[in-house]
Copies of this chain bind each other. A is one copy, B any other.
Amino acid sequence: MVKVLVPIAEGFEDIETATVIDVLRRAGIEVETAGLRGNIITSMNGVRVHTDSRLIDFDRLTHDGIVLPGGDPGFKNLLKSDMVKKVVDLMAKNGKVVAAICGAPIVLAELGLLNGVRATIYPGMEKNLDMPRGDKVVVDKNFITSQGPGTAMEFALRIVEHFLGKQKASLLRKELVA
């Protein structure tokens, strides 16, 4: 079974996070949400959610990929976390899928992972990217990036497509009325 890690920071973007968890779990992907500080985290819009675990001791490669939701201050809190950077770097260098949306692609950029890689980010933040693209979702090598809440559905469906193929993503799109 495909297993994906989703770090949850204080101030995470509600729609982006819910969409990734919802769409991937519907697809049969095992999603582990991991709180940066404890396991009850408050979203950008004031919703408190419980995470499956805490982001500690993640130096073993037990996941097939990692997905970083955005949100403000969510992406800034991801950027401040040494553990997040360590896990993202380890996953990227081992060819695992590394996906990020909204402001979160900046975490990948700061680690130098997007040098020579096409990527997208929340509009206005393109200067942080080496090869910015204006698409809703960009897939290059093992990196999948996207722009914001309104592109979260396409982002999540592309992650499903990457792991499970076009047909699964297409069936899911119909189920979701997307």
Residue of B nearest to A173 (CB): B150
Measured between C-beta atoms, what is the minimum distance from A19 to chain B in Å? 5
Instruction: Sort chain A's interface into a size bin.
Output: 20 to 34
Complex Cα spacing A46 to B46, Å: 19
* B123 adjacent to A151 (CB under 8 Å): no
Extra 8 A-B pairs, beta carbons < 8 Å, given A150-B173, A150-B178: A15-B176, A18-B19, A22-B149, A26-B45, A33-B47, A40-B50, A48-B50, A148-B176
13 contacts between A and B (CB under 8 A): A14-B19, A14-B21, A15-B23, A15-B153, A18-B19, A22-B44, A25-B45, A47-B50, A49-B50, A148-B176, A148-B177, A149-B176, A150-B177
Chain A residues within CB distance 8 Å of chain B: 13-15, 17-19, 21-23, 25-26, 33, 40, 43-50, 122-123, 136, 147-151, 153, 173, 176-178
